[in-house]
Amino acid sequence: MPLLDKQRRVIDTKRPDYAVFRKRRRVGLLAFVLLLAMFLGGIVYLFSGGSEEVSQEPLVQTDAPAVVEMPEEAASEEAPPEETTPSVAPEEEEAEPAMPVPEDPTLFLTVPKLGVYGHTVRNDRSEAALDAGAIKVPSTGFPWEKEDTNTYIAGHRVGWPGTESYYQLYELPLMREGDVVYLADTYGRIYEYRVFAIFAVSPSQSEVTRPIPGKDVVSLQTCTESPTDWWTMGPGLFGGGPESGRLVVQAERV
């Protein structure tokens, strides 16, 4: 190739391919400078202590903040009072209105098993009252009383003709458990009882007239020949001596 042509190719910077080459060389130089700057900056950062040093002091646990209690006065003002139901004693809850007490304590006896209907029972233990009909021992209870009453009624086994006492309780030994006894007061209130016990005692065993705990009862009593003989029609039915007996039938209120 002639020397003149070679020189032309070297110095001819106005050609298009020369301009592209020069542009690429500048871009590469700029990228090299940026990489070098980043590398030097990293070295400076590491050796300058720019990173935060980790503290070597041990961690200290702090106490949790104490709970502040509300003053009693403030608490009573803010908290509404609880509604409470006034306590009522069991006796007051279950208390029933008391029955009015009749001015006349006379009772009326009905025992269907004996054919006795509406017989007068006088609150009188005299012989005259017993000869007229059944009597209630005055020291014993009345059916309208609240609880644990023993209304103790006595009557003749044979009695006197022309009165309610005549054969009034003659068939009392025929009574059995479950038989019904009725009492009525002068207000017309009816008290129903059912037989639960039949036994005999001697005339001296007055404890049979006492109340029975937990029961409201009526007791019917008549004379027997002896405490063991309920059927013989002997003088014991009339004399009522120490050898005679007392047949007692007790019924509990329904």
- Reported as a single tens digit per residue, the pLDDT across 146-200 is 789 999 999 999 999 999 999 999 999 999 999 999 999 999 999 999 999 999 9
What pLDDT is stored for residue 96 in this prediction? Answer: 58
The fraction of the chain above a pLDDT of 90, given in percent, is: 52
Indicate yes or no: pTM above 0.85: no
What pLDDT is stored for residue 249 in this prediction? Answer: 98
Q: What is the CATH architecture assignment of 107-253?
A: Beta Barrel (2.40)
What pLDDT is stored for residue 100 in this prediction? Answer: 87
Is residue 224 within 8 A of residue 244, CB to CB? The reply is yes
User: 243: pLDDT confidence band, cut at 50, 70 and 90?
Assistant: confident
Whether 71 has a pLDDT exceeding 60, the answer reads no
What pLDDT is stored for residue 113 in this prediction? Answer: 97
Mean pLDDT of 67-78: 47
pLDDT digits (tens, 9 = 90+) for 9-67: 444 555 555 555 555 666 667 777 777 777 776 666 666 554 444 444 444 444 444 44
Whether 117 has a pLDDT exceeding 90, the answer reads yes
What pLDDT is stored for residue 35 in this prediction? Answer: 74
What pLDDT is stored for residue 34 in this prediction? Answer: 74
Whether 201 has a pLDDT exceeding 70, the answer reads yes
Average pLDDT, the chain: 79
What pLDDT is stored for residue 39 in this prediction? Answer: 72
Mean pLDDT of 128-141: 96
